Each structure stands twice: as structure tokens, then as C-alpha cells.
């Protein structure tokens, strides 16, 4: 039997073929969706799952990939191949295997300057410009100050290949921009023009930032390190994109790596998270995942140590009435980049909630400190006890009400006070930010309520600090009045100023995905804080009083250097990156309003 070649993996193509043969009458995609998917995807503003209209811009192949090997793979187990295909075509309005005209040579550099390494000029390497995760770009590196912002103009735009989410924060090193994408393509671009020097395709979507460092045993050569949504970490040649090594960090079937790895000397520290909290089927044996930091040898990717916020491995706790198994304790996902404390020889992680078990584990909803060399836990400061969220109420491993889902999704910041003492500043989905003492086991020095908090609320993806203040963006996207930006004094946690949510919204009428939530991480430069919003705006606020100094509306289509059709929409997740007088920002988010464009601004 002749089968037309499809733009999916060989495995997916095989079951699609079998499904077509087995079902003369194709399933009704609308009916399949209503019966199996609508409960979450039509769940309104409080649901984490994208609404059907937000999935419209996806390819049917990406829906199938999610149902077979991605976030929805356990939901997909209950569907036949024909049903998965039918729901994918129903949601996207496109046929599986439809031709997509993309010129692989479009946007390629014709005479790109060679990659000059990590010491070749100003750099933003990894999640933050520094190991302490301050997200502060001084003028000597960023090359941009508040008074220059009104002179910014768009220099170039890159269209990302999956038109649903621009979810990775760029890295700028040696005159190149390194950035991942939702379909797994990692780009190396010329920082000034945006032309494509090379691409590498990972096994899963690449959401974390790329780190660039010297290759052991090969003087003058450099590797680019990153991780993906299927649990793999990679090292590729930073000049050419050729693979050096790739390893599976964790074999758990619902593993995902959202947080950016941290690179320090000869170790790559990879944080792990999972889909298990929300991405499981009704028959799934919940829950067996434990978050961790995994230290890899940069020379070969071998595991040096593995450290868990929950020390006890999950064990069988009982049987459900349907015969399924209940496991615990579990959870403790690490959603964000860990923070390096060179002076104390520690690495800090912000940890999420417990998934299952009879109690909330003390290392969850916490800031945890591990020994940099051995991974031994040195201390843990839990800031939201009794938060078991993810198991099903009534099961043997799930006692009492579901917790409030108060993860630490933002990286902790190691900041220095005006008196020279250090403080750890951290923001939580509870809406509360804390100042912790790193010399006394994370003792709380101050706390400040910035938002109301909740599953989609509070402080989500990242804060920033300068010499005087911590800057706290508020999501609260499931609340009546989402958004807002707070500045608090580093030493005391007292409010310096508050910038209310933007109004009117750039995206028009309020609704799901079109609101003022500021869940994306922020960046501070001399005199200004840069913050993205669900309304599609990137704004610069004065560090003096919170007034808006500059605004850019990303809600439109862009002419791209690689001829991929691209548009901006909601900003969520990554922060703006400022290097060498340029500002780089990704626009478009699959959880709100979809988009797929990387924008680069410079000063006229």
C-alpha cells in the first residue's frame, strides 16, 4: 500500500497509517475533543490548558506530537491513532501532512563573522548576565541606559518555526544570539543582522537559555549547552552547531526541563520539572516524579551528582478503587534556573509544591541550598507548608484539600546590600516576595506582598535587582485585576513605588490571554526596568518612580529575516535581554495569545 510522506516522525507516521486502514469512517474530531479534552481546554480563565482558539495556529503535527510524546501523551493513550489525528485536524483546521513552504536557505548568513568566544565583547550568557541571577545589565555590558530608550527602533525580526510560542530567552555571546524554539530548533544568529549562522534540532522543544563555555581539552573552542522538554541535555559546537554530546538527564515518562541550566566551571547544573502535576490521564498511577538539580560533567555529559529537594523516593501508598496505584511522596519540581553562590560554595533552587503524599514535604515551596561540589542539602527554607497539589482527592496518597499551588517558579536572586551583606531575594506564586539571610539557613529577613497569588498568579517567572531595589512583576492572570510592577528596598522590603497594570490594553478587549498580567521575567538596566505583558506590550519603567519611559506594541505581523511568517502577541516567561546597545525580546505565548517572533532593537 502506498503511503504519502508526512511531516511527522516515522513512529507517528506508522500509527497514522494503521489508523487510516482500521477506520474507514474517520472519527469526528469535534466529538473527540468534547469527550476527552474540553474539560480542561474549555475551562475558562482558571485553566492552565490553552483554549481551542489558542491552538488554532498550531500545526496538526504539533498536536499529535503533544498527544504521543509531549505534554498530553498520557491523555493521548486513551485515544486511537485516528482519533488523535481527527482532534488535531479539528483544532487546527488543517490537514495532517499538508505542504508547508519554507525555504531552508532563507536568512542564512552569506559572510557571517566567526564566533569569537566568550571573551569577545559584551555578553549575556545563560538565564542571567551573572551567576547570581540579578537580571541587571550594567551600562558597560548592556550599552543601554534609560535616556536612550526613546531612540530604540526595530532592527530585525526572526520567525520561529512553530507559530504558537516564543518561549526561550536569548543568549548573546561572541557576536552571536543563541535561542531555542518550541519545535526543538536551536538557532545561532548574527547579533547585529539576525542572519542564521547555523541551526540544530533537539529531540524536544528548547525553552531554557543556552550557556556557552570553553570545551574541555580543546583550547580556543567552545560549546553551547542547553536542555529540552523531553529530558535531554546537550553540548554542541558553538561555532558550527555540530553535536558534541547529548544525554537523558531523567528517564521519567513525564519529564520536562523548563528551567535554564547553570554553567559554572566544569559543571552544568540542570534543574528538572515535569508534566506530572497536571499532564496525566485519569488512569495514570500518580505520582512518581521528584524534582532535582543534576550536575553534569561538561566534558562528556556524565552525571556527577543528583540532588533532590524531597530526599525520600516515591513508594506505593495504596490502591485506588479502579485498581490503579497511588504513589508518594513526589513533586518538588524546579522550574527555573538555579543560582550560584561562589563565596559560600552553594547552589540555590526555587522549588515547587508537593504532588502527592500525606504531608507537604519540607523541601517543597521552598528555597533550598545544596553544596556546589557534592549536592548535599545544606538548608531549606519552606515558605508555604501544606501545599499538596496534583494528586486526586480521596486517593490514599492525597489527604485533605488540594493545596494552593504556591511554587517558586522564579530563580532566587543573590543580591548585595548597600552595607556589603548578602541577601537572597525570591518571589513566589503566593504573591509574596521574601528577603532571606544566606548565612543563617535562609532565615526570613523581610517579606512583601505584591499580588494575590494562586495557580496562575503571584510572581511567576523572574524578578530583578539593582544596587538598591528588587523589582517584582505580578501575574495574577486568574484575578479580576492582573498585572502590576513593584519596587521594594533590598534591605527592608519596604515599598519604594508601585506601577499599576497598563490600561488601556494594547490587545483590545479584556479576556483570556488579553489582559495586563506581567508573568514574564523582568530585566533592569541603569534607570529602567523592562517588563513584558500578556497584552503584547514591552514597557520600560523608571527605576525612580515607576513611570513608563518607553513602550512597544508587539501585536502585529513582522517581516522576518528568514521569511517565516511571524507575529507577536502575549509576552510570558523569558525576560528582555540587553547586550551591546541592543535589546532582544521574544513575543508570543501558547498559554495566552500565540505568536512566534524574536525581535531585536537598537538605538538610531
Q: Give, as one character, the DSSP assignment of residue 388.
A: B
Q: Which residue has the higher pLDDT, 183 or 435?
A: 435
Segments of the chain assigned to CATH 1.10.760.10: 10-92
Q: Which residue do the cell numbers 511568517 mark?
A: 565
Beta bridge partners of 273: 256
Beta bridge partners of 398: 357
Give me the pLDDT at residue 6, please. Answer: 31
77 has a pLDDT exceeding 70: no
221 has a pLDDT exceeding 60: yes
Beta strands in 261-383 (DSSP E): 262-264, 267-271, 273-274, 293-297, 303-307, 315-319, 325-328, 330-331, 339-341, 346-350, 354-356, 366-371, 377-382
First to last CA, the chain: 61
Question: Nearest Cα to 196, choosing from 110, 127, 260?
Answer: 110
In this structure, how many other beta carbons lie within 10 angstroms of the beta carbon of residue 124?
Answer: 26
Strand order in the sheet with 495-499: 464-465, 469-473, 485-489, 495-499
Give me the pLDDT at residue 73, please. Answer: 64
pLDDT mean over 476-504: 95
Angle between helices 81-92 and 60-69 (to 10 degrees): 140
pLDDT mean over 291-319: 97
Beta strands in 438-593 (DSSP E): 443-449, 464-465, 469-473, 485-489, 495-499, 523-525, 528-532, 537-542, 548-553, 557-558, 566-567, 577-579, 582-587
Percent of the chain with pLDDT over 70: 92
Segments of the chain assigned to CATH 2.140.10.10: 178-409
Over residues 154-164, the pLDDT tens digits come to 999 999 987 77
pLDDT mean over 11-35: 58
**d(Cα 570, Cα 477) in Å, to the nearest integer?**
12
Over residues 84-132, the pLDDT tens digits come to 788 888 988 888 765 444 566 889 999 877 898 888 789 999 999 999 9
401 has a pLDDT exceeding 90: no
Q: Give the side-chain half-sphere CA count within 13 A for 163.
A: 15
| 238 pLDDT tier (thresholds 50, 70, 90) | very high
Strand order in the sheet with 346-350: 339-341, 346-350, 366-371, 377-382
Query: Which DSSP string do the residues of 395-456 spell out, in sequence order?
Result: STTB-SS--------SPPEEEE-TTS-EEEEEE-TTSEEEEEETTTTTEEEEEEE-S---TT
**d(Cα 344, Cα 341) in Å, to the nearest integer?**
6
Question: Nearest Cα to 225, choosing from 289, 182, 173, 274?
Answer: 173
CB-CB contact of 96 with 85 (8 Å): yes
Over residues 170-203, the pLDDT tens digits come to 999 999 999 999 889 999 999 999 999 999 999 9
E strand or H helix at 131, and its extent?
Answer: none
CB-CB contact of 528 with 542 (8 Å): yes
* Residue 462 CA: distances (Å) to CA of 14, 93, 465, 523: 42, 36, 10, 9
Three-state DSSP class for residue 76: helix
CB-CB contact of 461 with 573 (8 Å): yes
Phi-psi region of 158 (alpha: psi -120 to 50; beta: other; left: phi over 0): beta
| 591 pLDDT tier (thresholds 50, 70, 90) | confident
Question: Nearest Cα to 537, choosing from 576, 511, 498, 565?
Answer: 576
Over residues 515-560, the pLDDT tens digits come to 999 999 999 999 999 999 999 999 999 999 999 999 999 999 999 9
Question: Nearest Cα to 327, choosing from 312, 308, 339?
Answer: 312
Give me the pLDDT at residue 68, please. Answer: 62
310 has a pLDDT exceeding 70: yes
Q: Quick one: 10-92 is in which CATH superfamily?
A: Cytochrome c-like domain (1.10.760.10)
Burial class from Cβ neighbours inside 10 Å (0-12, 13-18, 19+) for residue 503 reads: exposed
| 44 pLDDT tier (thresholds 50, 70, 90) | low
In this structure, how many other beta carbons lie within 10 angstroms of the beta carbon of residue 40?
Answer: 16
User: What nine digits make up the cell of 116?
Assistant: 569569537
Give me the pLDDT at residue 98, please. Answer: 52
- Residues 291-325, buried b or exposed e (16+ Cβ, 10 A)? bbbbbbebeebeebbbbbbbeeebeebeebeeeeb
Question: Nearest Cα to 76, choosing from 324, 280, 288, 273?
Answer: 280
**d(Cα 164, Cα 225) in Å, to the nearest integer?**
24
Longest dimension (CA), the chain: 76
Give me the pLDDT at residue 176, please. Answer: 96
E strand or H helix at 211, and its extent?
Answer: strand 211-214
Question: Nearest Cα to 458, choosing from 394, 387, 526, 507?
Answer: 387
Query: Which DSSP string do the residues of 232-293 spell out, in sequence order?
Result: EEEEEETTT--EEEEEES---TTEE--SPPEEETTEEEEE-EESTTT---TT------B--E
Average pLDDT, the chain: 90
Question: Nearest Cα to 239, choosing from 100, 398, 412, 118?
Answer: 118
Question: Nearest Cα to 381, choosing from 356, 342, 408, 357?
Answer: 408
User: What nine digits make up the cell of 146?
Assistant: 534609560
Q: Is the peptide bond between 329 and the residue preceding it cis, with omega within 30 degrees of 0?
A: yes
CB-CB contact of 407 with 393 (8 Å): no
CATH code 3.40.50.300 for 178-409: no
Phi-psi region of 363 (alpha: psi -120 to 50; beta: other; left: phi over 0): alpha
**d(Cα 578, Cα 581) in Å, to the nearest integer?**
7
Amino acid at each position: 500500500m502506498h503511503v504519502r510522506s508526512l511531516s511527522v516522525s516515522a513512529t507517528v507516521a506508522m500509527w497514522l497509517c494503521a489508523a487510516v486502514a482500521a477506520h474507514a469512517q474517520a472519527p469526528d474530531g469535534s466529538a473527540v475533543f468534547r469527550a476527552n479534552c474540553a474539560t480542561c481546554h474549555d475551562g475558562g480563565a482558571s485553566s492552565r490548558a490553552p483554549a481551542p482558539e489558542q491552538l488554532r495556529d498550531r500545526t496538526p503535527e504539533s498536536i499529535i506530537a503533544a498527544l504521543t510524546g509531549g505534554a498530553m501523551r498520557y491523555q493521548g493513550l486513551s485515544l486511537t491513532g485516528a482519533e488523535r489525528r481527527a482532534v488535531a485536524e479539528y483544532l487546527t483546521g488543517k490537514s495532517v501532512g499538508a505542504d508547508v513552504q519554507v525555504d531552508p536557505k532563507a536568512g542564512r548568513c552569506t559572510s557571517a563573522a566567526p564566533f569569537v568566544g566568550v571573551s569577545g565583547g559584551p555578553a549575556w550568557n545563560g538565564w542571567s548576565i551573572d551567576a547570581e541571577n540579578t537580571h541587571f545589565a550594567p551600562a558597560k555590558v548592556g550599552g543601554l541606559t534609560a535616556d536612550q530608550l526613546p531612540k530604540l527602533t526595530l532592527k530585525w525580526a526572526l520567525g520561529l518555526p512553530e507559530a504558537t510560542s516564543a518561549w526561550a530567552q536569548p543568549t548573546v555571546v561572541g557576536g552571536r544570539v543563541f535561542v531555542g524554539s518550541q519545535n526543538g530548533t536551536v538557532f545561532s544568529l548574527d547579533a547585529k543582522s539576525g542572519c542564521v549562522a547555523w541551526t540544530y534540532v533537539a529531540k524536544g522543544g528548547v525553552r531554557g537559555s543556552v550557556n556557552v563555555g570553553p570545551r574541555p581539552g580543546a583550547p580556543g573552542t567552545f560549546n553551547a549547552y542547553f536542555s529540552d522538554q523531553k529530558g535531554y541535555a546537550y553540548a554542541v559546537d558553538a561555532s558550527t552547531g555540530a553535536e558534541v554530546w547529548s544525554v537523558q538527564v531523567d528517564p521519567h515518562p513525564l519529564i520536562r526541563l523548563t528551567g535554564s541550566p547553570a554553567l559554572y566551571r566544569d559543571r552544568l547544573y540542570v534543574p528538572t520539572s515535569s508534566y506530572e502535576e497536571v499532564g496525566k490521564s485519569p488512569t495514570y498511577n500518580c505520582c512518581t516524579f521528584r524534582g532535582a538539580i543534576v550536575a553534569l560533567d561538561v566534558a562528556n555529559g556524565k552525571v556527577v551528582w543528583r540532588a533532590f529537594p524531597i530526599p525520600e523516593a516515591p513508594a506505593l501508598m495504596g490502591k485506588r478503587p479502579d485498581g490503579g496505584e497511588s504513589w508518594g511522596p513526589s513533586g518538588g519540581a524546579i522550574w527555573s534556573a538555579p543560582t550560584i553562590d561562589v563565596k559560600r560554595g552553594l547552589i540555590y533552587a526555587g522549588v515547587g509544591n508537593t504532588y502527592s503524599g500525606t504531608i507537604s514535604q519540607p523541601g517543597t515551596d521552598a528555597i533550598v541550598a545544596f553544596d556546589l561540589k557534592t549536592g548535599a542539602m545544606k538548608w531549606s527554607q519552606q515558605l508555604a507548608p501544606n501545599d499538596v497539589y496534583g494528586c486526586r482527592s480521596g486517593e490514599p496518597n492525597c489527604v485533605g484539600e488540594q493545596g494552593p499551588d504556591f511554587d517558586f517558579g522564579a530563580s532566587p536572586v543573590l543580591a548585595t546590600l548597600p552595607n556589603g551583606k548578602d541577601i537572597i531575594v525570591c518571589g513566589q506564586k503566593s504573591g509574596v516576595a521574601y528577603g532571606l539571610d544566606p548565612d543563617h539557613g535562609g532565615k526570613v529577613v523581610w517579606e512583601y506582598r505584591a499580588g494575590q497569588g494562586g495557580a496562575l498568579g503571584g510572581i511567576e517567572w523572574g524578578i530583578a535587582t539593582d544596587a538598591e531595589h528588587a523589582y517584582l512583576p505580578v501575574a495574577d492572570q486568574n484575578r479580576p485585576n492582573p498585572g502590576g510592577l513593584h519596587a521594594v528596598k533590598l534591605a527592608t522590603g519596604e515599598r519604594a513605588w508601585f506601577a499599576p497594570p497598563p490600561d488601556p490594553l494594547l490587545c483590545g478587549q479584556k479576556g483570556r490571554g488579553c489582559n495586563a498580567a506581567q508573568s514574564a521575567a523582568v530585566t533592569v538596566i541603569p534607570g529602567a526596568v523592562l517588563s513584558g505583558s500578556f497584552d503584547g506590550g514591552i514597557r520600560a519603567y523608571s527605576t525612580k518612580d515607576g513611570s513608563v519611559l518607553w513602550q512597544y506594541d508587539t501585536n502585529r505581523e513582522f517581516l522576518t529575516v528568514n521569511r517565516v511568517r511571524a507575529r507577536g502577541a502575549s509576552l510570558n516567561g523569558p525576560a528582555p535581554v540587553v547586550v551591546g546597545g541592543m535589546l532582544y525580546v521574544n513575543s508570543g505565548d501558547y498559554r495566552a495569545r500565540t505568536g512566534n517572533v524574536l525581535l531585536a532593537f537598537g538605538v538610531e
